[in-house]
């Protein structure tokens, strides 16, 4: 079985004849429509097939036409030559006498022809400050498991649009048949796994959620579904994750394998209260610790009485993208130059999809925000935050022009944190006509992607972080134009172990922004050692989110070594293959490692949770060359060693078969090891 064969297996449309006496037509479908004349069935017949090679991939195109209606579907199945991921999507089009309503229009909807007594679905669920919880659900005979996300914007919270379908008993990181299905989409989504009455048939569906109302499709207009990305593994969940990571690096993220900088983000260090001096002091601090970039978070913009400042805080200014000169009299260009003078790159926080009702933009264009005719506005953060109508191209153009002017004023801008702190709560678009209101959800997400694409095309060198009150935009749709996520506003390392564990199931470490913050932690008030905060953050893209002046000289010196150590292992962490060795869901620790594709380098992490007394865990490494000789070194060390390292030189076979005994002790203990092939040291 391959992901390609699974994608080719069909496209379940409502009304198709099945040839089965008991179930004569397909009712559980991924494509379901109401034709212009009110009829509801589809009878699609293959009307042509093509195959072409393009940029290292083979694309199969299958054209399907209805027997009676001028309605057609073109399916695409794209198989990459250099990784096991297969992208599949559909274009839907008709020339009926009037609009057709799409009740469902999934990207993937096919039977999975793998006999198995047990079918389980692994998914990620969450909410603000508690993202990416891993959960499992068994699909019994005659049952469906459905994961719907309906926020409109922060969709990765409710149910991430990526699932793993486990077929058979005993699936784990290394063993078992697993189908990964991930939607490249930042909007509402629905993933379903269904088994028939006796479990002899399993069907998997993934696509845009349309429970908010059918999408009205005019004649001769093409509706394109998002891509569903499939990965098939017969070697457990770990392989599915690795293939997604590889695909994302090679074929999705704008900067692919580029190393992400060690940065300091100003948010938790100063929130809305800063002066130019606060920020330049932060720059000095992060530079001293070995950082490479400074990112100015919320609070820098707005004009006059609507300026975003320590008084207005989050109640004003969204939509007015000009610098607040009361706070930053020298402007952003000057600030970026200050960063450059210290050898730091400069990044900026923006929240383009939003307006405050306390903004000049809203005062001038109240019809630019999503709203329902005749109902009061539902406002979010600060009781003033509303979502702009991204269905409307004029709104998008305005945002593009405003932000483009800001970006032009910072010639050295290298990074943008694109935030989004509200859902679509006002379920109406003033731009769409009354009979098209349900189109809002799909059109909004398309509008967001369109704007992301325009910014990316104009300044391709800029790295973007997709943030939505934390990890609300942890999806492959955003990752086509962004290079990383802010996985959570919860920066407590203990909680982050779980959040990052969830994130790693689908999304690569380079995309996972992990910041060292103050202790006690601002969200949980938990106190943790600096080493622990670092060790957890070293497993992804390391950064800081604190004011360096709050660190003691000893802490600064520890941080310097930690950053230097990170720079050593950064290539293998950010580009390597991930192996999850011990799950925090099963043990009082998480253990994971990254190994380079060439097997010459690796990094191993053991992150304790609440350990009673002392616990020694034998960690059998993965992904090494059995015959190569490696050296193992504990890095980012405090006073204590956590392992009696086998020998200075040890074979990959020993490391993988015998492993390393790592001893952790007490509540927040952790250890990191760097592993290098001795061949490379010669
Ligand atoms: C959201 C983000 C935070 C920070 C604030 C600023 O909550 O997730 O990281 O940028 O907004 O208002």
Q: Is 469 in the pocket of ligand 1 (CB under 6 A)?
A: yes
Q: Tell me, yes or no, whether 604 lies in a domain.
A: yes
C-alpha count within 13 angstroms, C-beta hemisphere, residue 5: 8
Please give the structure tokens belonging to residue 192: 């379903």
- Answer yes or no: is pLDDT of 340 > 80: yes
Residue having the nearest C-alpha atom to atom 4 of ligand 1: 267
Residue 212 has pLDDT above 90, yes or no: yes
Q: What is the mean pLDDT of residues 114-123?
A: 94
Question: Is residue 537 over pLDDT 90?
Answer: yes
Chain Cα centroid distance, residue 567: 24
Instruction: Report the CATH number that the domain containing residue 99 is assigned in CATH.
Output: 2.70.98.60
Q: Are residues 37 and 175 in the same domain?
A: yes
347 in ligand 1 pocket by Cβ < 6 Å? Answer: no
Rg of the chain over all Cα atoms, to the nearest angstrom: 26
Residues 472 and 599 in one domain: no
Could you tell me if 243 and 316 lie in one domain? no
Closest CA to 299 of 285, 286, 283, 316: 316
Q: How far is the CA of 470 from the centre of ligand 1 (A)?
A: 7
In the listed set 486, 506, 532, which residue is the last one of a domain according to the structure? 486
The label of the residue with tokens 């589809």 reads: 42
> Rounded mean pLDDT of 313-328?
97
Q: Is residue 247 part of a domain?
A: yes
DSSP-derived 3-state class of residue 442? helix
In the structure encoding, which two tokens stand for residue 5, read together? 């064969």
Q: Is the CB of 481 under 6 A from ligand 1?
A: no
pLDDT, position 510: 98
Return the pLDDT at 610. Answer: 92
Handedness of CA 616, 621, 627, 631 (dihedral sign): negative
| Residue with CA nearest ligand 1 atom 6 | 298
Torsion of CA 107, 111, 112, 118, to 10 degrees: 110
Q: Which of the two residues, 348 and 679, has the higher pLDDT score?
A: 348
How many domains in the chain? Answer: 3
User: Quick check: helix, strand or coil at residue 45?
Assistant: strand
Looking at residue 115, its pLDDT comes to: 86
Final residue in a domain of this structure, among 460, 486, 512: 486
Whole-number Cα distances in Å, 524 to 490, 494, 528, 545, 651: 8, 10, 11, 15, 43
Nearest to 413 by CA among 481, 328, 473, 349: 349
Residues 243 and 324 in one domain: no
pLDDT computed for residue 680 by the predictor: 59
Task: Give yes or no: residues 591 and 662 share one domain.
Answer: yes
Task: Return the best residue to mutate from 130, 298, 491 for the ligand 1 pocket (most ligand atoms within 8 A of CB).
Answer: 298
- Is pTM, for the whole model, over 0.95? yes
Coil vs helix vs strand at 17? strand
Task: Please check the confidence at residue 551 and state whether its pLDDT lies above 80.
Answer: yes
Separate counts of helices (H) and strands (E) for the chain: 14, 34
| Domain-located, residue 646 | yes
Distance, in Å, from the CA atom of 510 to the CA atom of 588, rounded to the nearest integer, reads 25
Report yes or no on 567 lying in a domain: no
The secondary structure of 115-136, three-state, reads CCCCEEEEEEEEECCEEEEEEE
How large a percentage of the chain has pLDDT more than 70? 100
Q: In terms of domains, do 479 and 589 share one?
A: no
- Ligand 1 pocket member 267 (CB < 6 A): yes
Buried residues in 466-490 as b, exposed as e (16+ CB within 10 A):
bbbbbbbbbbbbbbbbbbbbbbbbb
The answer to whether position 299 is within a domain reads no
What is the rounded CA–CA span in Å between residue 501 and residue 511? 13
310 token code pair: 């320590």
Cα gap 24→1, rounded to integer Å: 28
Residue at 218 is within a domain: yes
Using CA of residue 171, residue 172, residue 176, residue 182, what is the dihedral sign?
Answer: positive
How far CA 372 is from CA of 215, 438, 512, in Å, comes to 18, 12, 36
Pocket of ligand 1 contains residue 180 by CB under 6 Å: no
Which of 185, 197, 179 is closest to 148 using CA atoms?
185
681 pLDDT more than 70: no
Say if residues 206 and 6 touch (Cβ distance below 8 Å). no
Give which of 217, 171, 169, 213 is closest to 188, Cα–Cα. 213
- Do 215 and 320 lie in one domain? The reply is no
> CA–CA separation, 442 vs 439, rounded Å?
6
The CA-atom distances, in angstroms, between 600 and each of 257, 407, 444, 483, 597 are 17, 41, 45, 26, 8
Q: Is residue 244 part of a domain?
A: yes
245 with 332, same domain: the answer is: no
Which CATH number belongs to the domain containing residue 398 in this structure? 3.20.20.70
| Catalytic sites, residue numbers | 419, 489
Say which CATH number the domain at 644 has: 2.60.40.1180
Least confidently predicted of 1-5, 360-364, 411-415, 669-673: 1-5
CA 639 – CA 529 distance, rounded (Å): 13
Q: What is the pLDDT of residue 375?
A: 97
Strand partners, 16: none
Q: Exposed/middle/buried for 127, CB within 10 Å: 0-12, 13-18, 19+?
A: middle
User: Do 585 and 481 belong together in one domain?
Assistant: no
Within a domain: 262: no
Region 189-211: what's the mean pLDDT? 96
CA dist 192 and 202 (Å) reads 10
Could you tell me if 223 and 371 lie in one domain?
Answer: no
> Tokens 């080719």 identify what position?
8
> Residue 505 has which token pair?
């199931």
Phi, psi (rounded to 5 degrees) for 578: -90, 135
State pLDDT tens for residues 429-448: 999 999 999 999 999 999 99
Whether residue 681 contacts residue 659, with contact meaning beta carbons closer than 8 Å, is answered with no
599 has a pLDDT exceeding 70: yes
Q: What is the pLDDT of residues 68-101, one digit of tens each?
A: 999 999 999 999 999 999 999 999 999 999 999 9
Average confidence score pLDDT of the chain: 97
SS3 readout for 412-473: CEEEEEECCCCCCCCCCCCCCCHHHHHHHHHHHHHHHHHHHHHHHHHCCCCEEEECECCECC
CB 606 within 8 A of CB 659: no
Calpha distance 385→423 (Å, rounded): 10
Closest atom of ligand 1 relative to the 470 alpha carbon: 8
CB 387 within 8 A of CB 424: yes
**Would you say 578 and 245 are in contact if contact means Cβ atoms under 8 Å apart?**
yes
The CA 98 to ligand 1 mean position distance, Å, reads 45
- Tracing tokens 């059998």 back to the chain, one arrives at 620
State the average pLDDT over residues 586-597. Answer: 98
Structure tokens at 178: 């697993």
Closest-lying ligand 1 atom to the alpha carbon of residue 469: 8
pLDDT at 647: 75
What are the residues whose beta carbons fall under 8 Å from the beta carbon of 366, sequence distance 6 or more?
none
Domain ranges, residue 423: 309-486
Residues 348 and 449 in one domain: yes
User: What contacts 176, CB < 8 A, 6 or more positions away?
Assistant: 166, 167, 168, 169, 170, 234, 235, 236, 237
Pick from 511, 393, 386, 385: nearest CA to 446? 393
Proportion of the chain in helix, strand, coil states, percent, rounded to 5 = 25, 35, 40
pLDDT tens digits, residue range 473-529?
Answer: 999 999 999 999 999 999 999 999 999 999 999 999 999 999 999 999 999 999 999
- Out of 269, 301, 349, 473, give the residue to mutate to test ligand 1, the one with the largest number of ligand atoms within 8 Å of its CB: 349
Q: Do residues 8 and 80 share a domain?
A: yes
Give the end of a domain, one of 205, 232, 251: 251
pLDDT, tens digit (0-9, with 9 covering 90-100), for 372-429 = 999 999 999 999 999 999 999 999 999 999 999 999 999 999 999 999 999 999 999 9
């Amino acid at each position: 079985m391959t992901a390609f064969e699974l994608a080719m297996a069909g496209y379940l449309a409502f009304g198709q004849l099945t040839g089965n006496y008991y179930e004569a037509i397909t009712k559980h479908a991924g494509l379901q429509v109401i034709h212009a004349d009110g009829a509801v069935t589809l009878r699609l017949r293959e009307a042509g097939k093509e195959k072409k090679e393009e940029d290292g991939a083979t694309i199969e195109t299958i054209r399907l036409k209805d027997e009676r209606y001028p309605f057609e579907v073109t399916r695409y199945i794209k198989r990459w030559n250099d990784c096991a991921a297969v992208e599949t999507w559909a274009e839907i089009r008709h020339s009926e006498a009037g609009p057709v309503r799409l009740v469902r229009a999934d990207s993937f909807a096919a039977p999975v022809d793998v006999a198995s007594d047990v079918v389980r679905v692994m998914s990620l669920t969450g909410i603000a400050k508690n993202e990416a919880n891993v959960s499992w659900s068994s699909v019994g005979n005659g049952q469906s498991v459905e994961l719907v996300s309906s926020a409109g914007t922060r969709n990765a919270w409710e149910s991430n649009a990526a699932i793993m379908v486990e077929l058979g008993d005993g699936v784990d990181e290394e063993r078992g048949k697993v189908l990964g299905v991930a939607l490249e989409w930042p909007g509402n989504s629905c993933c379903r796994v269904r088994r028939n009455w006796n479990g002899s048939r399993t069907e998997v569906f993934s696509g845009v959620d349309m429970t908010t109302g059918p999408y009205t499709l005019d004649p001769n207009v093409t509706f394109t579904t998002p891509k569903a990305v499939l990965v098939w593994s017969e070697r457990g969940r770990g392989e599915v994750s690795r293939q997604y990571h590889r695909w994302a690096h090679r074929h999705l993220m704008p900067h692919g394998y580029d190393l992400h900088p060690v940065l300091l983000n100003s948010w938790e260090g100063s929130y809305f209260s800063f002066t130019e001096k606060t920020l330049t002091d932060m720059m000095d601090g992060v530079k001293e610790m070995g950082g490479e970039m400074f990112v100015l978070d919320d609070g820098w913009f707005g004009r006059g009485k609507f300026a975003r400042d320590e008084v207005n805080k989050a109640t004003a200014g969204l939509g007015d993208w000009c610098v607040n000169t009361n706070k930053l009299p020298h402007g952003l260009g000057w600030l970026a130059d200050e960063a450059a003078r210290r050898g730091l790159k400069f990044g900026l926080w923006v929240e383009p999809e939003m307006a405050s009702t306390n903004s000049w933009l809203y005062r001038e264009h109240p019809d630019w925000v999503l709203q329902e005719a005749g109902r009061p506005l539902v406002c979010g953060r600060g009781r003033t935050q509303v979502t702009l109508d991204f269905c409307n191209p004029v709104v998008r153009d305005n945002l593009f022009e405003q932000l483009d002017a800001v970006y032009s004023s910072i010639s050295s801008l290298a990074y943008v944190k694109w935030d989004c702190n509200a859902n679509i709560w006002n379920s109406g678009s003033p731009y769409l006509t009354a009979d098209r209101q349900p189109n809002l959800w799909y059109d909004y997400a398309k509008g967001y992607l369109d704007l992301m694409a325009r910014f990316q095309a104009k300044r391709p060198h800029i790295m973007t972080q997709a943030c939505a009150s934390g990890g609300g935009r942890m999806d492959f749709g955003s990752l086509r134009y962004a290079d990383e996520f802010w996985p959570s506003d919860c920066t407590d390392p203990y909680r982050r172990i779980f959040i990052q564990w969830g994130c790693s199931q689908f999304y690569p470490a380079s995309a996972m922004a992990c910041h060292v913050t103050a202790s006690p932690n601002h969200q949980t008030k938990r106190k943790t050692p600096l080493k622990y905060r670092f060790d957890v953050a070293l497993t992804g893209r390391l950064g800081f989110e604190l004011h360096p002046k709050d660190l003691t000289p000893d802490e600064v010196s520890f941080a310097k070594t930690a950053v230097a150590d990170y720079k050593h292992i950064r290539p293998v962490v950010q580009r390597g293959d991930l192996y999850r060795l011990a799950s925090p869901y099963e043990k009082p620790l998480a253990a994971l490692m990254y190994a380079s594709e060439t097997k010459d380098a690796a990094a191993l992490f053991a992150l304790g949770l609440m350990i009673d007394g002392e616990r020694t865990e034998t960690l059998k490494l993965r992904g090494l060359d059995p015959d190569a000789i490696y050296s193992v070194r504990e890095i980012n060390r405090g006073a204590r060693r956590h392992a009696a390292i086998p020998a200075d030189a040890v074979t990959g076979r020993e490391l993988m078969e015998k492993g390393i005994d790592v001893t952790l002790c007490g509540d927040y203990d952790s250890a990191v090891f760097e592993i290098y092939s001795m061949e490379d040291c010669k």
